[in-house]
């Protein structure tokens, strides 16, 4: 009986070439079509592990962790100064899904600085912000604005402690005037104090106290106030 030989089945040559071209593990610099370049680790043809990316258009550099093609983990992001061309670090900290996420420090171009928590690229959670005018806010954030409980310290020494909403003082709070030795305690609505009481606070240690101390507020018994009101009503009826 004759023996029939069948040719071996082989995958197309381009499949083999494609398999060899797949990037996996540590690679030297790989250039993209637009001129961006990446040096680091790969997995399944995606940036994965430790690596450094340089964007051609902006000259920005990211060096840190990657996860399936996106910045994820710990890393730093720097940009070149338009005048000196020296690199300035803008952000160092944690990333999630290619955006700032977790704890990190951001250095703004105007000299301001934020050190705290991030979510989806926005300041969210607990953080401390140094403003260019010398003010410092430390407290809770939500979607890039102070929201919750926080303390704002001004360059002149005054400070506000209390509630915030959408970047404005909102809710119960205390505003301290150390130079005057006074304290305003009350309720704020959209940065405006709607009600409260101004009292002396450590007036003896104040740098520029008021000429006369504020008179103490005498609180009456609610039952006595009600009884007095009833008596006045009865008199008016008679």
pTM for the full model?
0.76
Separation CA 96–CA 68 (nearest Å): 12
**Exposure on the CB side of residue 146, measured as CA atoms within 13 A:** 24
pLDDT bracket for residue 34 (50, 70, 90) = very high
DSSP string, the chain: -PPPPPPPP---HHHHHHHHHS--EEEEEEE-TTS-EEEEEEETTEEEEEEEEE-TTT--EEEEEEETTEEEEEEEEEEE-TTT--EEEEEEEEEETTEEEEEEEEE-TTS-EEEEEEETTEEEEEEEEE-TTS-EEEEEEETTEEEEEEEEE-TTS-EEEEEEETTEEEEEEEEEETTTTEEEEEEEETTEEEEEEEEE-SGGG-SS--SSPPPPPPPPPHHHHHHHHHHHHHHHH-
Structure tokens at 223: 């039952």
pLDDT exceeds 60 at position 189: yes
pLDDT tier at 178, thresholds 50, 70, 90: confident
The three state secondary structure string of 174-235 is EEEECCCCEEEEEEEECCEEEEEEEEECCHHHCCCCCCCCCCCCCCCCHHHHHHHHHHHHHH
Q: Torsions phi, psi of 39, nearest 5?
A: -130, 120
pLDDT at residue number 212: 53
Which structure tokens are listed for 215?
A: 């008179």
Tens of pLDDT, residues 128-140: 999 999 999 999 9
Note the pLDDT of residue 180.
82
How much of the chain exceeds pLDDT 90, in percent? 62
């Amino acid at each position: 009986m004759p023996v029939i030989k069948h040719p071996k089945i082989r995958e197309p040559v381009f499949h083999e070439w494609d398999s060899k071209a797949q990037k996996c593990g540590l690679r030297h610099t790989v250039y993209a079509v637009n001129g961006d370049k990446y040096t680091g680790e790969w997995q399944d043809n995606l940036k994965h592990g430790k690596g450094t990316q340089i964007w051609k258009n902006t000259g920005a550099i990211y060096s840190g962790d990657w996860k399936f093609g996106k910045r994820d983990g710990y890393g730093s992001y720097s940009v070149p100064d338009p005048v000196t061309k020296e690199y300035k670090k803008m952000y160092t900290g944690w990333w999630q899904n290619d955006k700032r996420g977790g704890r990190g420090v951001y250095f703004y171009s105007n000299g301001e600085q934020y050190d705290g928590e991030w979510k989806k690229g926005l300041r969210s959670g607990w953080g401390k912000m140094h403003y260019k005018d010398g003010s410092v806010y430390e407290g809770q954030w939500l979607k890039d604005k102070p929201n919750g409980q926080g303390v704002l310290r001004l360059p002149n020494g005054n400070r506000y402690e209390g509630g915030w909403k959408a970047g404005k003082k909102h809710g119960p709070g205390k505003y301290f005037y150390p130079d005057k030795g006074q304290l305003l305690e009350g309720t704020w609505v959209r940065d405006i104090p709607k009600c409260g009481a101004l009292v002396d606070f450590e007036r003896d240690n104040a740098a520029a106290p008021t000429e006369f101390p504020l008179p103490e507020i005498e609180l009456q018994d609610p039952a006595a106030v009600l009884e007095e009101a009833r008596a006045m009503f009865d008199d008016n009826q008679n």
